[in-house]
């Protein structure tokens, strides 16, 4: 009985609150919504937090004001068809969908076609990320001017004259390339719809602003909203859209991770600004492999695709010098021979220095520890500087053996003959391990006229040495390399 009374009392309290408006629907749906958004991962929270509970980053929460707007499907976006106002898709049986109908748009740039998996897919949304000044605008302007189709190049960063100057600089022109300096997404998409181009380029997503969102351009919610609008545009009109996105200092795409989920393909344009080589990598591709990569050379007149990277990355030197060794690496699906250089010298200051350009510093530490512990080289007392030619970053573990050879060569001051190359990974116990696609690596070394290649003895399965002109030296431990080259 007592419990029943209590229940009745509580019910009355709640009823009174609702009728007095305290819990009314109106109370909840206010027009302005404020949230705190993590600018690293895009997570949001109603309160400010010092550390993001989603990605663990510190001090990344920022307040954003978001106006409540109708659901995306119901917005009166003027570029949409009037007879299908919401642009709503109708359910279609999978049996009725024609496959293989999508014809890819092949660009005149072979490297871009390769990283996209064979050309641009109609209606796809492609994000190109890269640090400022790496050449993203140059690359896409080049595509826009060379494509031979009608292209709309939208720039929120540069004026029409600046873009024209750049076009003159790269000596290209295409009367079918239209430049639009606009940042409002609705106006951009209205123009795009009217112009009906074969390709839209947006430079850059961080400068766009959607009229439906109140926060400043470049903020998380703006980027998210603009990317969503572009995606709906691309999917409904089948016009491919390329978006340029800036990346932060630590290499992540500025903006929420969500942007990567929205787009179909994520390409990363990278390279050292002090060198001329630029690499276009595929980080995500819904229509192709992510193993592909393209190499460009930044010249005074624009970006030039590099077809034979090995020939450029091997430095031309007169005599064999100590401290350098050539690695047969794979960049994506392409074999590439790269020169690695090491300088090992006695430490002048107390703590020996380690520095690596184009190679993971922790992996260098591991290789040094292996050499010290397993092979007895006292490298712990030495400064070690490592450099990969051309300013290229290599993640392929097959470069390990060349790096070890370069370090040992510098340490013992004995040059590695310049007609030898290496392709193997080093394990923690000093063993020389097998790597993938060994045949392709050997073939490339053979083509470039090398006399011998050092590989792991566990890598010889199915390998026919008679097919190659060069000698295949197989080793199982680092000691065998020392015996063969430095004694
Ligand atoms: P840009 O495309 O503006 O870079 P992003 O859009 O990624 O910020 O490229 C700018 C750099 O490229 C600049 O440092 C100058 C250099 N560059 C050339 O070397 N040659 C050229 O023909 C052009 C157009 C630019
Ligand atoms: Mg730019």
State pTM to two decimals: 0.73
Question: Cα torsion for 42, 45, 50, 55, to the nearest 10°?
Answer: -40
449 inside domain: yes
Considering the domain architecture, whether residues 295 and 151 belong to the same structural domain is answered as yes
Centroid of ligand 2 to alpha carbon of 232 (angstroms): 24
Q: For residue 302, give the ligand 1 atom closest to its CA.
A: 22
Q: Is residue 161 included in any domain, yes or no? A: yes
**Site to substitute for ligand 1 among 135, 144, 206, 274, most atoms within 8 A of C-beta:** 135
364-371 contacts at long range (C-beta below 8 A, 24 or more positions apart):
364/403, 366/428, 367/400, 367/403, 367/404, 367/407, 367/426, 368/407, 370/426, 370/427, 370/428, 370/429, 370/430, 370/478, 371/404, 371/407, 371/408, 371/430, 371/478
Whether residue 3 lies inside any domain: the answer is no
Of the pLDDT bands very low, low, confident and very high (cuts 50, 70, 90), residue 256 is: low
Last residue of a domain, one of 307, 327, 349: 307
Cα–ligand 1 centroid distance for 461 (angstroms) = 46
Please, which pLDDT band fits residue 260 given cuts at 50, 70 and 90? confident
Least confident of 15-19, 270-274, 397-401: 15-19
Determine, yes or no, domain membership for 13.
no
- The partner residues of 473 in beta bridges, in order of sequence, read 454
Tell whether omega for the bond before 256 is within 30 degrees of 0, i.e. cis.
no
Same domain membership, residue 345 and residue 303? no
Is residue 295 within 8 Å of 305, Cβ to Cβ?
A: yes
One domain for residues 301 and 365: no
User: Using CA atoms, how far apart are residues 487 and 482, in angstroms rounded to an integer?
Assistant: 7
- 321 and 343 co-located in one domain: yes
Residue keyed to tokens 């005149």 = 108
* Whether 175 and 288 share a structural domain: yes
Domain final residue, candidates 37, 67, 97: 67
215/363 same-domain check = no
Residue 340 and residue 242 share a domain: no
To test the pocket of ligand 1, the residue of 130, 138, 253, 271 to mutate (highest count of ligand atoms within 8 Å of its CB) is 138
Is 342 found in the same domain as 422? Answer: yes
Does a structural domain hold residue 363?
Answer: yes
Distances (CA, A) of 16 to 4, 9, 107, 225: 18, 11, 68, 40
Look at residue 162 and tell me if it is in a domain: yes
Q: What residues make up the domain containing 38? A: 25-67
Buried/exposed code over 279-306 (b: 16+ C-beta within 10 A; e: otherwise):
bbbbeebebbeeebbbbbbbeeebbebb
Per-residue confidence (pLDDT) for residue 140, from 0 to 100: 94
Query: In this structure, is residue 97 part of a structural domain?
Result: no
The CATH number for 292's domain is 3.40.50.300
Confidence at residue 316, expressed as pLDDT on a 0 to 100 scale: 62
Strand residues in 247-349 grouped as ranges (E)? 265-270, 277-285, 293-299, 302-305, 324-331, 334-346
Looking at the CA of residue 269, tell me the nearest atom of ligand 1. Answer: 7
Residue, of 167 and 15, whose pLDDT is higher: 167
pLDDT at 87 over 80: no
Q: Which residues does ligand 1 sit against, CB inside 6 Å?
A: 130, 132-138, 166, 169-170, 298, 300-302
**Predicted pLDDT of residue 466:** 87
Percentage of the chain lying above the pLDDT 70 cut: 84
Same domain, 130 and 211: yes
Q: pLDDT above 90 covers what percent of the chain? A: 43
Does 317 lie in the same domain as 273?
no
Ligand 1 center–CA 155 separation, angstroms: 15
- Residue 451 forms part of a structural domain: yes
Domain of 456, CATH number, reads 3.30.230.10
pLDDT at residue number 32: 63
User: What's the number of domains the chain is made of?
Assistant: 3
Higher pLDDT, residue 252 or 166 = 166
pLDDT at 224 (0 to 100): 86
The residue from 45, 67, 89 where one domain ends is 67
Q: Is the predicted pLDDT of residue 74 greater than 50, yes or no?
A: no
Query: What are residue 425's DSSP bridge partners?
Result: 433
53 and 200: one domain? no
Residue-level pLDDT at 380: 85
Looking at the structure, tell me whether residues 288 and 319 fall in a common domain. no
- pLDDT for 81 equals 54
Flag whether pLDDT at 3 surpasses 70.
no
- Please tell me the predicted confidence (pLDDT) of residue 265: 93
**Structure confidence at residue 363 (pLDDT):** 94
Average pLDDT across the chain, whole number = 84
Report the separation in Å between the CA atom of 123 and the middle of ligand 2, taken as the mean of its atom positions: 23
Region 212-239 average pLDDT:
88
CA of 135 to the centre of ligand 1 (A): 4
> Two tokens at 246?
């800036």
pLDDT exceeds cutoff 90 at 95: no
């Amino acid at each position: 009985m007592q419990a029943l009374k209590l229940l009745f009392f509580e019910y009355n309290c709640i009823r009174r609150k609702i009728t007095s408006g305290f819990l009314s629907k109106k109370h909840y749906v206010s027009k302005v919504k404020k949230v705190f958004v993590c600018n690293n991962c895009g997570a949001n929270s109603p309160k400010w937090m010092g550390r993001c509970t989603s990605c663990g980053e510190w001090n990344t929460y920022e307040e954003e004001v978001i106006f409540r707007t109708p659901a995306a499907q119901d917005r009166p976006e003027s570029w949409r068809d009037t007879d299908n106002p919401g642009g709503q898709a109708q359910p279609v049986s999978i049996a009725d969908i024609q496959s293989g109908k999508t014809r890819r748009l092949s660009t005149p740039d072979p490297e871009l076609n390769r990283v996209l998996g064979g050309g641009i897919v109609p209606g796809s949304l492609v994000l190109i990320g890269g640090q400022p000044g790496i050449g993203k605008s140059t690359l896409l302007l080049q595509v826009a001017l060379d494509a031979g189709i009608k292209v709309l190049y939208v720039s929120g960063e540069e004026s029409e004259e600046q873009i024209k100057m750049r076009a003159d600089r790269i000596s290209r022109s295409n009367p079918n390339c239209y430049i639009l300096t606009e940042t409002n997404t609705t106006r951009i998409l209205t123009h795009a719809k009217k112009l009906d181009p074969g390709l839209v380029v947006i430079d850059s997503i961080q400068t766009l602003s959607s009229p439906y969102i109140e926060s400043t351009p470049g903020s998380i919610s703006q980027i998210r909203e603009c990317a969503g609008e572009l995606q709906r545009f691309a999917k409904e009109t089948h016009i491919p859209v390329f978006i340029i996105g800036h990346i932060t200092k630590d290499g992540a795409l500025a903006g929420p991770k969500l942007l990567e989920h929205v787009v179909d393909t994520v390409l990363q344009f990278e390279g050292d600004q002090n060198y001329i080589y630029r690499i276009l990598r595929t980080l995500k591709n819904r229509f192709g492999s992510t193993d592909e990569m393209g190499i460009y050379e930044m010249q005074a007149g624009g970006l030039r695709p590099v077809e034979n990277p090995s020939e450029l990355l091997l430095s031309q030197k007169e005599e064999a010098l100590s401290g350098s060794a050539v690695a047969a690496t794979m960049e994506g699906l392409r074999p590439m021979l790269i020169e690695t250089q090491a300088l090992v010298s006695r430490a002048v200051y107390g703590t020996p220095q380690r520095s690596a350009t184009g190679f993971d510093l922790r992996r260098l530490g591991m290789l040094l520890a292996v050499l010290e512990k397993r092979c007895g080289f006292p490298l712990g007392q030495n400064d070690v500087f490592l450099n990969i030619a051309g300013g290229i970053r290599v993640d392929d573990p097959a470069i390990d053996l060349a790096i070890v050879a370069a370090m040992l060569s510098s340490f013992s001051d004995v040059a590695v003959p310049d007609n030898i190359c290496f392709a193997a990974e080093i394990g923690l116990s000093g063993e020389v391990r097998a790597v993938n696609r060994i045949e392709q690596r050997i073939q490339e070394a053979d083509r470039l006229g090398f006399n011998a290649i050092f590989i792991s003895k566990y890598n010889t399965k199915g390998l026919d040495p008679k097919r190659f002109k060069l000698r295949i030296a197989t080793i199982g431990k680092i000691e065998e390399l020392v015996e063969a080259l430095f004694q």
